[in-house]
Amino acid sequence: MKILKESSLGNIRLLSSFLLITFLFITLYSQFFKNIDYCAVDRVYSGDKWRHLHLMLSFGCVLFCGLQFVFWSPLKPRSLKAKFQFNGRSLFFILYTLLWYGATYCLCTYLKVSLGDLTCNKHSNSVSGHFLFHSFYLLIIPYWFLTMGRIHNKQQLLSPSSHPDHQKKTSKRQQQQQSSSSTKRAVRESSRNELVLLKRLLVENPTTIVLLITYLLYVYSSYINLDKTWVHGFHSPRQILYGLLLSFSSILALLQITSVYNNLQSKSSYIGLLQYLVGYWILALSVLYYGGGRYPFSNNELIVFFVCFLYLVYFSLVKAETLPQPQTEEVKLKKKNE
């Protein structure tokens, strides 16, 4: 029986499902057979100004990875300038994920209060926000890597003969024949062997090493911060498990939605994604409002979120119409007859 999928994005979704089911089983099992409502030590309050260093370092790595992905050109850059080119679709997915996490954190804030767990804290702190954040981006950064890589790969398939020098050397009919044959061949190879695309994403642009180093730094700083969260008595095992369950549930929902609306050349896909994001925020804000929870973001953060959302709307309604479209068989036959 084949378990792993041919698509790497499908394997990330499979891993998210496995982690969600695993931690759900651990939580339910511990509910009846283990004590998970205790702290490692009495909570340690430190006045050290560097106590949030690893959390800020992890957050900085997430932002830096996102910025790199927006300008990342992984597949055979033709010049030094081509190694860094702005990609609007990459920015769309980066901002979309950040806003998705923002709505998830609103749900986390609501659950902190509504579940009423005072273990390890004077106030209700029922869900670990640290474990939510670090586990979420632990899988989301690889998701960004694969998604942006597929965006560039599809753009290359849509215009395989777009280089000026190549156009000068070949006739119009030769370009059409080469374009058709190379596109079909590339699609077949990509579908048969996912490792080919992964290898290209890793080795064709030397700047990719910066992404990998940044991600490894994120993993290291996250480990240190989560270790302090437990060792210093900030959360109980139950609160940690709840944070992980919320994280993997959110990731799985995000991956499922983006797998449905996966036509990156279609305006309707971007509008569909936007509708789900708006609905998710309405749900999160509604439970916060009616549940009596505090809003977790400052005014400055709200302004940033609003600007990001405006870009998503602008891209979905305006820029998506100008994206190159794959030719259907009917269009190809019509052009051939002409």
Q: Can you tell me whether residue 188 is helix, strand or coil?
A: helix
| Domain span including residue 166 | 8-259
Q: Is residue 285 part of a domain?
A: no
Q: Is residue 317 part of a domain?
A: no
Q: Is residue 327 part of a domain?
A: no
Query: Mean pLDDT over residues 295-322, rounded?
Result: 89
Question: CA-to-CA distance for 325 and 45, rounded, in angstroms?
Answer: 57
C-beta neighbour count of 196 within 10 angstroms: 12
Range ranked top by mean pLDDT from 3-7, 168-172, 319-323:
319-323
Q: Is residue 98 part of a domain?
A: yes
Lowest mean per-residue pLDDT among 35-44, 158-167, 186-195 = 158-167
Q: Between these two residues, 277 and 155, which has the higher pLDDT value?
A: 277
Q: Between these two residues, 9 and 322, which has the higher pLDDT value?
A: 9
**pTM for the whole structure:** 0.83
Q: Which residue blocks in 39-171 are alpha helix, DSSP H? A: 53-70, 88-114, 129-158, 164-169
Single-letter amino acid, residue 243: G
Q: Which residues contact 216 (CB under 8 A, 6 or more apart)?
A: none
Check pLDDT > 70 for residue 331: no
Question: CA-to-CA distance for 132 and 252, rounded, in angstroms?
Answer: 13
Q: Is residue 149 part of a domain?
A: yes
Q: Which pLDDT value is given to residue 76? A: 67
Q: Which pLDDT value is given to residue 59? A: 95
**pLDDT class for 157, splitting at 50, 70, 90?**
low
Q: Which pLDDT value is given to residue 271? A: 92
Alpha-carbon distances of 70 from 43, 80, 151, 155, 166, rounded to whole Å: 40, 16, 11, 15, 27
Q: Which pLDDT value is given to residue 31? A: 87
Question: CA-to-CA distance for 268 and 285, rounded, in angstroms?
Answer: 26
Q: Which pLDDT value is given to residue 332? A: 45
Q: Is residue 314 part of a domain?
A: no
Check pLDDT > 70 for residue 329: no
Q: Is residue 282 part of a domain?
A: no
Q: Which pLDDT value is given to residue 19? A: 94
Q: Which pLDDT value is given to residue 266? A: 79
Q: Is residue 307 part of a domain?
A: no
What length does the chain have? 338
Question: CA-to-CA distance for 90 and 317, rounded, in angstroms?
Answer: 16
Q: How many domains in the chain?
A: 1
Query: Mean pLDDT over residues 123-138, rounded?
Result: 93
Q: Which pLDDT value is given to residue 46? A: 65
Identify the burial level of 209 via C-beta atoms within 10 angstroms of its C-beta, where 0-12 means exposed, 13-18 middle and 19 or more buried.
exposed
Which residues does residue 72 pair with via DSSP β-bridges, in sequence order?
84
The mean of the pLDDT values for the chain is: 81
Lowest mean per-residue pLDDT among 14-23, 114-123, 193-202, 309-318 = 193-202
C-beta neighbour count of 301 within 10 angstroms: 12
Query: Mean pLDDT over residues 182-210, rounded?
Result: 69
**pLDDT class for 182, splitting at 50, 70, 90?**
low
Instruction: Please give the structure tokens belonging to residue 120.
Output: 């390890």
Which residues does residue 262 pair with via DSSP β-bridges, in sequence order?
none
Instruction: Please give the structure tokens belonging to residue 247.
Output: 């994280």
Evaluate whether 75 touches 201 at the Cβ level (below 8 Å).
Answer: yes
**pLDDT class for 57, splitting at 50, 70, 90?**
very high
Check pLDDT > 80 for residue 131: yes
Q: Which pLDDT value is given to residue 242? A: 96
Q: Which pLDDT value is given to residue 84? A: 66
Check pLDDT > 50 for residue 17: yes
DSSP string over 52-79: THHHHHHHHHHHHHHHHHHTB--S--SS
Query: Mean pLDDT over residues 174-195, rounded?
Result: 52
Of the chain, the percentage scoring pLDDT greater than 70 comes to 76
Q: Which pLDDT value is given to residue 152? A: 76
Check pLDDT > 50 for residue 330: no
**pLDDT class for 224, splitting at 50, 70, 90?**
very high
Q: Which residues contact 261 (CB under 8 A, 6 or more apart)?
A: 268, 269, 270, 272, 273
Q: Which pLDDT value is given to residue 335? A: 46
Q: Between these two residues, 322 and 121, which has the higher pLDDT value?
A: 121
